[in-house]
Amino acid sequence: MTDTPIFEDALPEEDPLLFSVSDEMSFERLDKVLAQLIPQHSRSRIQTWIEGGHVMVNGQVAKVRQNLREDDQITVFVQPAPEDQAFKPENVDFEVLAQSPDWIVVNKPVGLVTHPGAGNWSGTLLNGLLFRFPELAQVARAGIVHRLDKDTSGLLVVARNEVAQTHLVRQLQARTMGREYLALAHGRMLSEGRVDLPIGRDMRVPVRMSVEKPAAPKAAVTHYKLMRVGEYYDSNVSQVICKLETGRTHQIRVHLASLGHPLLGDTLYGGRMLGQVTRQMLHAHQLRFEDPGGAGEVSFVAPMPEDMAQVVEAIRWG
């Protein structure tokens, strides 16, 4: 027999759903019949269960396009939706740089999604925070105050209670929280500048943000300062420090691209993969805020991650 067995220890704790195929349903496809029998679940989700080996017909693992016959016995092991597990603790690897009774400062690694969302319902920083700090289950969004893109590394502050979360969010709103980023951008940038361009969703490409006739634009301000210019694989590269006044999605990536200087590796906004570059070269290296506990301003620095440091080392600086 070539069918993949369902092992007992892989079955969910809930009792399975049991159905007997009627004459009216005979010769119909399995997924179509189940969509009628359990209409509270979408057909695509049911197909996922079948493909995952969670549906059996007459004791055998079923196939999506399988046709049924009268009196066939269907067993369905209902699986939780991915989003149902979004706020479950998981042992996710990340560095805690510092902590107090009111906050946690995290150095997020490259590749880690900050918060669950479509396509990333598990394995996120939020899941890891709930695993390491179970008390965060009592705080909205597990205390996450601001986010970093999946392929951007660096510092984030997480609130450990609602009072601290409100305090930190208000600092973001008042633009008093200091966030400084290190970036590698294409071309030779000016010594310094300020980009004040509202950002919203790109009307043509939904996964992109834009400053050119965007949908629902919001105010966005980025300050940048040139550190040095070099050459990498016959291309000019600028190392810059960027400071945020606001915190819009993809803000630095969009603003630098709007100047004609997209980040190295940021193919979504016109950047190129050169040499050792495998992702957008952006790192949140400095963070400062007023301690909600009354200890005054606190400040933290995270060193550049290894992949970005290797690129910086390989650049021929002028």
Catalytic residues: 149
Could you give the maximum distance between any two Cα atoms of the chain, in Å? 80
Structural tokens at position 281: 């070269």
- DSSP-based three-state secondary structure for 130: helix
Decide if 264 contacts 151 (C-beta within 8 A): no
- Give the three-state DSSP class for 183: strand
CA 310 to chain centre: 24
Answer whether 240's CB lies under 8 Å from 227's CB: yes
Name the residue among 305, 241, 257 with its Cα closest to residue 279. Answer: 305
Contact 124, 116 (CB under 8 A): yes
DSSP-assigned letters across all residues of 20-59: E--GGGTTSBHHHHHHHH-TTS-HHHHHHHHHTT-EEETT
Cα–Cα distances (Å) from 10 to 6, 14, 222, 254, 289, in that order, read 7, 12, 50, 45, 46
Q: Are 227 and 239 in contact (CB under 8 A)?
A: yes
Pairwise CA distance, residues 83 & 45, whole Å: 12
Neighbours of 184 (CB within 10 A): 25
Spatial distance between the Cα atoms of 154 and 173, rounded to a whole number of angstroms: 21
Q: What is the CA radius of gyration of the chain?
A: 25
Q: Tokens at residue 5, please? A: 């067995």
